[in-house]
A and B are shown apart, each in its own frame.
Chain A
Amino acid sequence: MQTPFGKETYLYWYEIMLLLRRFEEKAGQLYGMQKIRGFCHLYIGQEAIAAGAMTAIRDDDNMITAYRDHALAIAKGIPARECMAELYGKATGCTKGKGGSMHFFSKEKRFFGGHGIVGGQIGVGAGIAFAEQYQNTDRATLCFFGDGAARQGILHEAFNMAVLWQLPIVFICENNYYAMGTSVERTSKVLDIYRLADAYDMPGDSVDGMSCEDVHKGIERAVRRAREKGGPTFLEIKTYRYRGHSMSDPAKYRTKEELEEYKEKDPINQVLKTIMDNKWATEEEIGHINEKVKMEVDEAVKFAEDSPYPDDSELYKDIYVQEDYPYITD
């Protein structure tokens, strides 16, 4: 069977997507057991975007996203155990138990955060790209946000400046058709979100987010443009979240049939089918990958369980860089 990518790529996609899926399933369970608190937004169903993005970029490219950040953070290289520990609010988490589910960060992995104010990261992402241009690097910045976020005014301000200054950024709208309980049709008359780029003369494209191949191709092209000083690109990647908006959302606003329709196109199944059709792995080898992923998630949970909570003295740490800042304590 002709495939646009080789065996290694498909096996990577399979393993990383399975890890993201199993991590999120476990996070969902642990939330139910109150091990994880606060808001928790799962990425299940959207994994092909993280997987396809990772094969299309370099390790030193930048990433920034919203609160639905677990999977992109892990794909970008933050160890699953540090992510799980963060969900537990433990000192060994990727933000020392300070950020929680919505605010994963890693300077080392050039992951500029999970951000909780809808749309805020669209402008911040443009600023990160601005600094790359300023420092004359060839790094690209991937800036992710939702279909709901695409209606915030900051999108227009950031798009305009990004084109005006030819910033090396790829704006990526993960269109999963809903912003909480509000479907895309109820937020605008512009349903092809990628066309918002037209108003600013920015190249825009629609991408199938259930296909790793499509995601890779779309992002690769846009990243090349960014590196070659061709300016920003806007990709609308159509995807679906299988779960509710957050753990407290029963998702009554959509039908079972709609959900099933997307599960039919599940990216993990698609990639596995390609691997099997091409005889790139035996059942046994796939079994090994499955087992390896399971162990990684189990190990992450054990690590989180065994880790300490932050010391009480952390209350007044990481507020300012200045260490002897005079806090008001009375």
Chain B
Amino acid sequence: MRTIALRQALREAMEEEMRRDERVFLMGEEVAQYNGAYKVSQGMLDEFGPKRIIDTPITELGFAAIGVGAAMNNTRPIVEFMTWNFAELAIDQIVNHAAKVVSMSAGQFTCPIVFRGPNGSAGQLGAQHSQAFENWYANVPGLKVISTCNPYDAKGLLKSAIRDEDPIVFMESEVAYGDMGEVPEEEYLIPIGKADVKRAGTDVTIVSYNKMMKVAMGAAEELAKENISAEVIDLRTIRPLDWHTIVGSVKKTNRLVIVEEQWPFSSISSEISYRIQKEAFDYLDAPIRRICSADANMHYAGNLVALYLPDVPRTVKLVKEVMYMVK
């Protein structure tokens, strides 16, 4: 199978959906003439023209609102945020408006919009440019939240997101746009709300998503050298949460470790832990454990960034703790 970069997988998803449906357009900062701040929309202006690939001023609240209004009125906008940090300016439109259109209008109006862009840290960018927001949006009824940086999953899920009738928060990763992965030439869709077992195993379940999947897979690799068999689940969709897949795995492994880039308080791991202790209490042989980003703002210095983020050695150690191999 051919391999392509994440940015190309995302671009193909948008291009295919735009060819298929006139109502789909892309709007955001530097998406057109500059070909995207991270080159995700490279070449799209050439194919679709300025009517459908639209550069905006730096006005996140404003263009998110244009997207919401347009989505209520028979179009299907894709609104790109240069990063999700900047979408904080637009959160009013996403949470107070997009998420509530169906409810407030008693189903008369819908808001089929995709808000997308890179989420999470990307090196030494300091406190304002390094935040991961999955749990913020996953808390909101009316929104669906997808978070992935795997090229195959990203393409199939973005296509589903663009076709979905509900507002979608779609989170990518700046440091993964160049990551290569196998993506078929033929068209495919991946359903929203389905996790994927990326590595089968029997001793412990590791759940993760987006770029922390690399840590989870790296840890599984290390553990395999010591004959510990880890099953690794990529959530892909955060809301709705596919807890059935996790329960299925935990029934087999009896142990669960979650790796995520969220801050720990009220995070996705908090939610998973509640659900699994309720649905699989009798199957757990150890407390559910997690490794998150530090409960802190990210500092600039390289050593403090490394300490802040989950990594393979600490994940390996955590797995050994739930297996009662180390204290």
Contacts and interface: CB of A to CB of B under 8 A. Distances in A.
Are both chains from one complex? yes
B124 A315 contact: no
Interface in B265-317: 265, 289-290, 292, 294-297, 299-304, 307-308
Contacts of A89: 124, 300-302
Contacts of A117: 85-86, 88-89, 128
Contacts of A153: 59, 61-62
A184 to B, nearest CB: 10
A330 B289 contact: yes
Nearest to A117: B128
B33 interface: yes
A102 interface: yes
Interface in B22-57: 29-30, 33-34, 37, 55, 57
A309 B124 CA distance: 14
Interface stretch (A7-15, A175-183, A222-230): A175-183
A328 interface: yes
Taking each of B59, B264, B294, which has the highest tally of chain A beta carbons within 10 Å of its own beta carbon?
B59
Interface in A14-54: 37-39
Given A181-B33, A187-B57, A310 B126 contact: no
B201 to A, nearest CB: 23
Given A152-B58, A315-B294, A319-B296, A116 B304 contact: no
A307 B59 CA distance: 40
Interface in B200-235: none
A180 B86 contact: no
Contacts of B299: 97-99, 310, 314-315, 318
A200 interface: no
A310 B59 CA distance: 36
Given A100-B300, A118-B86, A180-B34, A152 B129 contact: no
Main secondary structure of the interface of A (DSSP, over half): loop
A238 interface: no
A134 interface: no
A102 B289 CA distance: 35
Contact of B301 (A97, A118, A151, A182): A97
A253 B296 contact: no
Nearest to A87: B300
B37 A180 contact: yes
Given A37-B302, A310-B301, A180 B30 contact: yes
A38 B304 CA distance: 13
B125 A38 contact: yes
Interface in B53-86: 55, 57-59, 61-62, 85-86
Interface in A257-304: none
Nearest to B270: A328
Interface size band for B? 35 or more
Contacts of A90: 301
A149 interface: yes
Interface in B146-172: none
Nearest to A115: B128
B126 A182 contact: no
Contacts of B304: 97-98, 310, 312, 314-315
Contacts of A309: 301-303
B59 to A, nearest CB: 5
Contacts of B295: 316, 319, 327-329
Interface string B112-128: 00000000000111111
B124 A182 contact: no
A119 interface: yes
A181 B300 contact: no
B129 A116 contact: yes
Nearest to B302: A89
B300 A97 contact: yes
Given A102-B126, A103-B126, A309-B303, A182 B57 contact: yes
A310 B306 CA distance: 12
Given A38-B123, A117-B85, A99 B302 contact: no
A156 B186 CA distance: 49
Nearest to A180: B30
13 contacts: A89-B124, A98-B304, A100-B125, A100-B300, A116-B129, A180-B34, A182-B29, A182-B57, A187-B58, A309-B303, A315-B296, A319-B296, A327-B295
